[in-house]
Structure 1
Amino acid sequence: MDHVKKYNSIFIEVFDVEVTELNNDFTIDYKSNWDSIRHLSLIAALEDEFDMMLDTDDILEFNSYEKGKHLLAKYGIEL
């Protein structure tokens, strides 16, 4: 499975959404169930899947589907 599919699968599982919902509009403000528990679940799943650790500042800045792509690129994971 390529990185984009893995990334999307994590969002689909954590937020219980369809792949068609994953776009630039998918943000912490857009999705009402993006709460602190789901946020930490998202971070943990990404760290496990991509075998990396996000810095605290990056975890706090991770507020959208698109921002997550940019943050992963910072760690050498291109989507």
Structure 2
Amino acid sequence: MTNKEIYIKLFVTNFKLKPEELPGLKYRSIKAWDSLGHMTLMEDMEEAFDISIDTPDVLAFSSFEKGMDILRKYGVDI
């Protein structure tokens, strides 16, 4: 499984969405992506990619697309 496939799967699993619903998805745009859902997603990202996301990046992780940019900063090739 590629890193992008893993990334997509984390969103699909955490937020019960279909992959085609992910482009343009923003924090708090759906009920499941609230503060608790966000922290769960961050924990799952850290575990899946064996990284530790700094607090400013957790706060900046505001959309599906922005998340890919942030992960690239940690050396995750997406």
TM range (shorter): over 0.9
Residue segments in structure 2 that go unaligned for 5+ positions in a row: none
Q: Deviations over 1:4-55 (max 9, x none)?
A: 10000000011110011011x1001422321111001100000000000000
Q: d(CA) in 2 for partners of 1:31 and 1:16?
A: 11
1:39 matched to 2:35: no
**Counterpart position of 1:18:** 18
Q: Give TM-score scaled by structure 1 length.
A: 0.94
1:52 counterpart residue number: 51
- Tell me if 1:6 matches 2:6: yes
In the alignment, residue 41 of structure 1 is paired with which amino acid? T
RMSD between aligned alpha carbons? Answer: 0.9
Unaligned runs of 5+ in 1: none
1:58 alignment partner, SS class: helix
* Aligned length, in residue pairs: 78
